[in-house]
Chains A and B, each alone.
Chain A
Amino acid sequence: GDSVTQMEGPVTLSEEAFLTINCTYTATGYPSLFWYVQYPGEGLQLLLKATKADDKGSNKGFEATYRKETTSFHLEKGSVQVSDSAVYFCALSDPAGGSYIPTFGRGTSLIVHP
């Protein structure tokens, strides 16, 4: 079945540092890939997405490129801020099964210090 593997956290960085959160996936079809962010005590917000190979999703300085050859969708940001502290979930949705139910990774906590 489909699965998503994220790097374990927490990831602790100083403000303005470069961020990479690794995400790899396995899927039977041609999934869409997503990054969601969850701030403390809140629900999930869609951060960015990519629907086909080589697409780059970007939002709020975050980027991720859909790499079919390496089955990866790593999240990057050039200069993190304290306000980026949150839990980040990588997810895929494979319409091949017809359900559109996303498969989530376990989440990676990011802590940014001033």
Chain B
Amino acid sequence: GAVVSQHPSWVICKSGTSVKIECRSLDFQATTMFWYRQFPKQSLMLMATSNEGSKATYEQGVEKDKFLINHASLTLSTLTVTSAHPEDSSFYICSARLPGYNEQFFGPGTRLTVL
């Protein structure tokens, strides 16, 4: 149980286009999901906390107009990278907290490459 999926697993796009990444909790409902960014050989950097039915909470230094987060249901959160540029190329990972437990489950990640 407690499986989190992401789609797509990798995406290549042209500079200036927008890319949407989906994060789904497959067998539980998650009121809170998290989006991380990971640069090569580095740890995870929390970008934002996604709350179902309300606005996301962004970490300092993360542009909310650049990285749009929508958590429309208890099993789905989406991250849209708007007007992507090569510097946005990275590995994006989502996680979901199992309600009632102090534990998070991570998706397999999405590799974004912006040409």
Contacts and interface: CB of A to CB of B under 8 A. Distances in A.
- Whether A associates with B in a native complex is yes
B42 A51 contact: no
Interface in A38-52: 41-46, 49, 51
Interface in B71-115: 93, 95, 97, 102-109, 111
A35 B6 CA distance: 22
B34 interface: yes
Contacts of A45: 106
A43 B97 contact: no
User: SS class of chain B's interface: helix, strand, loop or mixed?
Assistant: strand
Given A43-B93, A107-B42, A101 B106 contact: no
A89 interface: yes
Contact of B106 (A32, A36, A49, A95): A36
A46 B44 contact: no
A44 B93 contact: yes
Given A43-B107, A44-B93, A100-B97, A95 B42 contact: no
B109 A43 contact: yes
Interface of A: 32, 34, 36, 41-46, 49, 51, 89, 93, 95, 99-102, 104-107, 109
Given A43-B93, A45-B106, A100-B97, 12 more contacts: A42-B108, A44-B44, A44-B93, A46-B105, A49-B103, A93-B102, A93-B104, A99-B49, A100-B104, A102-B104, A106-B43, A107-B41
22 contacts: A32-B102, A34-B103, A36-B106, A43-B93, A43-B106, A43-B109, A45-B106, A46-B103, A46-B105, A46-B106, A49-B103, A51-B102, A89-B43, A95-B102, A100-B97, A104-B43, A104-B44, A105-B43, A106-B43, A107-B41, A107-B43, A109-B41
Interface of B: 6, 32, 34, 41-44, 46, 49, 93, 95, 97, 102-109, 111
